[in-house]
Structure 1
Amino acid sequence: MKSYKILVTGPFNAGKTTFVRTLCKEYLDTEKRLFRRAVKSVTTVALDFGVVKVGKNRCVKLFGTPGQERFSFLWRPLSIGMDGYILMIDSGDLESVEKAEKIYRFFRKLAPRTPHVIAVNKYDKPGFKMSCEDVRGLLEVPPTIPVKATIATDYNSALSLVNMLLKLIDREGLVTLREEV
């Protein structure tokens, strides 16, 4: 069985933990209560981790990063050995896109040749939603990188995103980040 390490990153409340939980029957998360209640009552402080079998011969290990900037020191060590990454954004939150821009720049600089996809999440929620084209423009995503509307709570939507990234990894060959921290 071929094994892949995929990092799931993005700003606070973008849906990273939900994405990992949706795909993985068993998962580890490191959520802690927020002292000030914002849009949710808990936040990831170290990582989310889960394993999902894709098809007959692929094992995907998902590593979710914390989204708050104060935990950004974990992004680099969590990315060691990654075969690809998913940048997740809340489609209804302009501030999420602004914060995602910083995160995207970080990973593009850290691992410029690593396959990745942009997940424009929460398309099932009512209200304002940014289009994938708008997100592509705001983040200056190259035309070769997929930007996909996603619903992290929907298994098929989440799995479709992982499959899209696996195709990129297979097509481009493994460009795994193997640097030491």
Structure 2
Amino acid sequence: MDFSGSDAVLGPANEDLLPDSATAAVKVVVVGGFGVGKTTLVGAVSEIRPLTTEETMTQAGAGVDDLAGIERKSETTVAMDFGRISISDELVLYLFGTPGQERFWFLWNGLFEGALGAVVLVDTRRLEVSFDVIGRLEDRGVPFVVAANVFPGSPAHPDQELRTALDLPPEVPIVACDARIRESGRDVLLALMHYLYDLAEAPPAR
């Protein structure tokens, strides 16, 4: 489920300029294990030419990156992905996709700076690659939603089974998505915005 990278940068095109109506911008981080579709999601929903840092995988990663279940993967993100989407005339989301391999997780500190929330993309065929990712978000106190990316042949699980398997609190939203489809990715981001709004409106705990 790859998404072709950005074109050569020759300067901002008209469609890349921020709309004059935008009055608020929110930083959102897209995280997940190796090969779950983060670059695909950012590229599919972005209304500007996405910035990607995909590099061809080499023998240097052999024995380090776990390719079980994603043997056909040939490229990987080594720094970040970046895109932008307007949720409304006033609200703009800046999307930062993180690298999935654990050896690149040191980059997460900078990417999470100033982030209002996160999308955790999971592959239901390989839920185990998401355990540490979710744990890091919980340790940082970053609100997140879980998006189950639909891969060909991936098993369908009821939300409660996924919640139990991922050890998620009952309030964390779980949504199904196809990271290749813009409307599906937009629905995931809207779910995150609704969740963040609900958290902001909730009375303080006593």
TM-score by length of 1: 0.87
Structure-2 residue corresponding to 1:15? 37
Matched, 1:107 2:137: yes
Q: In structure 1, what is the Cα distance between the partners aligned to 2:154 and 2:193?
A: 32
Q: 2:107 aligns with which of 67, 74, 77?
A: 74
Q: In structure 2, what is the Cα distance between the partners aligned to 1:149 and 1:52?
A: 20
Q: Does the CA contact (< 8 Å) of 2:173 and 2:195 recur in 1?
A: no
Q: 2:95 aligns with which of 62, 78, 84?
A: 62
Q: For residues 1-181 of structure 1, what are the structure 2 equivalents within 5 Å? A: 1-25=23-47, 26-36=49-59, 38-91=71-124, 93-94=125-126, 97-111=127-141, 114-122=142-150, 125-173=152-200
Deviation at 1:129, TM superposition (A): 3.7
RMSD of the alignment, in Å? 1.7
Q: In structure 1, what is the Cα distance between the partners aligned to 2:37 and 2:108?
A: 17
Deviation at 1:13, TM superposition (A): 0.9
- Structure 1 residues 40-91: Cα deviation after superposition (integer angstroms, max 9, x where no partner): 1000000000011111111000000000111011112210100000000112
Deviation at 1:130, TM superposition (A): 3.9
Percent same amino acid among aligned pairs? 31
Deviation at 1:127, TM superposition (A): 4.6
Q: In structure 1, what is the Cα distance between the partners aligned to 2:77 and 2:156?
A: 24
Structure 1 counterpart of 2:92, one-letter code: C
**Structure (1 or 2) with the larger CA radius of gyration:** 2
Q: 1:73–1:163: structure 2 CA closer, same or farther, 3 Å change rule?
A: same
Q: In structure 2, what is the Cα distance between the partners aligned to 1:122 and 1:100?
A: 15
Q: In structure 1, what is the Cα distance between the partners aligned to 2:72 and 2:156?
A: 17
Q: In structure 1, what is the Cα distance between the partners aligned to 2:86 and 2:197?
A: 16
Structure 1 counterpart of 2:26, one-letter code: Y
Structure 2 counterpart of 1:105, one-letter code: G
5+ long unaligned stretches in structure 2: 1-22, 60-66, 202-206
Q: How many residues align structurally?
A: 168
Higher strand proportion: 1
Structure 1 counterpart of 2:52, one-letter code: D
